[in-house]
Chains A and B, each alone.
Chain A
């Protein structure tokens, strides 16, 4: 069965600093991988996805993620965070005809 692990429950970053959110997956084949962001009381917005090809994926809002098969990781990065980036971030795997398996989420706090 697929599983997704987000090791960090909370992350605090100063505004303007760089960000990296960790995600590890467990899946036999190459999975479809996603990063979503959820603001309080809201649904999920897709930041980026990886299906195949170039392992560095560019997304919306200045985010990128790198697929590393050797480490079973798909970490999300942003070079300079803004206060509006404060939210809950979910890594997920699966897709296609199947529903997604979500990690537990990482709560991002931005310090002024």
Chain B
């Protein structure tokens, strides 16, 4: 089946620093990847849509200058949380759209803790 990986699986960083999260589709090409955020015991909220070779599209209320998204290849998208604050602590999950089936396959998530 389609596999999506994320790295790192968890990260702790100090307030004010930046952290990069990688999302890879391992056995298929993903022209579109999505980034979601999940707070404890809550649902997933779409943050942005990332298309290979073009600028990401951000959902209303998501700061594009804070959450930098790059989709440089058909198998890799990165999310960089810049100048992180404790309120950015969350579970970040990416998904990759399989161009053949249109289904979205999710990565295992990255737990970010900002101290």
Which A residues lie at the B interface, using CB under 8 A? 32, 34, 36, 41-46, 49, 51, 90, 95-105
Question: Smallest Cβ distance from A104 to chain B, in angstroms?
Answer: 5
- Any chain A CB within 8 A of the CB of B18? no
Contact among B44, B102, B108 for A32, CB-based, below 8 A = B102
Known pairs A36-B106, A46-B105; A99 contacts B43 (CB<8 A): no
Residues of B in contact (CB 8 Å), total 24
Q: Name the CB-closest residue of A to B1.
A: A46
Question: Smallest Cβ distance from A24 to chain B, in angstroms?
Answer: 15
Closest A-B pairs by Cβ, 10 of them: A99-B46, A43-B108, A44-B106, A99-B34, A102-B43, A43-B109, A43-B106, A104-B43, A102-B44, A105-B43
Q: Are A90's CB and B106's CB within 8 A?
A: no
Known pairs A43-B93, A43-B108, A43-B109; A100 contacts B103 (CB<8 A): no
Q: Name the CB-closest residue of B to A60.
A: B1
Known pairs A43-B108, A102-B43; A96 contacts B102 (CB<8 A): yes
Question: Smallest Cβ distance from A64 to chain B, in angstroms?
Answer: 17
CA distance A97 to B52 in the complex (A): 12
25 A-B residue pairs with CB within 8 Å: A32-B102, A34-B103, A36-B106, A41-B109, A41-B111, A42-B108, A43-B93, A43-B106, A43-B109, A44-B106, A45-B106, A46-B104, A95-B104, A96-B102, A98-B49, A99-B46, A99-B49, A100-B34, A100-B46, A100-B95, A101-B46, A103-B43, A104-B43, A105-B42, A105-B43
